[in-house]
């Protein structure tokens, strides 16, 4: 009888200049957003340089970017990553107002979450984006 193989761990980068926003995102997603996915390790970033370095190194399976991060918002960072990084990881942008969801189209984000973050919606959204990435429906996630 074969024992099930544990899914590979995943790295999720979280960008916000505000530690409390990063903490809210991490807590909403949780360490295991879905049983069929690996455990999540969070890489927290407070600035764009950290995000660019991690994405360019290919060490991120998913990026969750605060749309209101300062001095550069997550939507602008998302657009920059999508246009400049080969094999860019999938990106989720968080916004404060439901009416700002349309900006995700401009930012080229793969999904949007609205604050205050609902843990069920956040985990489901993260799991969906990761599954689509792993299945090849989005840019290939870093596996390694």
Global pTM?
0.90
Read off the tokens for 89: 């990881």
Cβ–Cβ contacts within 10 Å for residue 73, how many? Answer: 21
Cα first-last separation, the chain: 27
pLDDT in tens, 3-43: 455 578 999 999 999 999 999 999 999 999 999 999 999 99
Helices (H), the chain: 19-29, 48-57, 74-84, 103-107, 119-134
Evaluate whether 105 touches 79 at the Cβ level (below 8 Å): no
CA dihedral 136, 28, 121, 85 (to 10 degrees): -30
Determine the Cα–Cα distance for residues 46 and 73; give it in Å rounded to an integer: 11
pLDDT over threshold 90, residue 101: no
The position carrying tokens 């903490």 is 23
Res 100: pLDDT: 77
């Amino acid at each position: 009888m074969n024992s099930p193989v544990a899914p590979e761990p995943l790295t999720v980068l979280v960008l916000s200049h505000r530690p409390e926003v990063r903490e809210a995102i991490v807590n909403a997603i949780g360490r295991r957003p879905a049983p069929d996915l690996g455990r999540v390790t969070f890489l927290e970033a407070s600035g764009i340089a950290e995000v660019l370095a991690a994405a360019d190194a290919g060490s991120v399976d998913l990026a969750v970017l605060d749309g209101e991060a300062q001095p550069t918002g997550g939507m602008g960072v998302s657009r920059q990553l999508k246009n400049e990084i080969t094999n860019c990881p999938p990106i989720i942008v968080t916004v404060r107002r439901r009416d700002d969801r349309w900006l995700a189209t401009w930012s080229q984000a793969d999904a949007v979450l609205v604050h205050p973050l609902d843990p069920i919606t956040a985990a489901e959204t993260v799991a969906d984006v990761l599954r689509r990435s792993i299945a090849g429906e989005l840019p290939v996630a870093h596996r390694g």
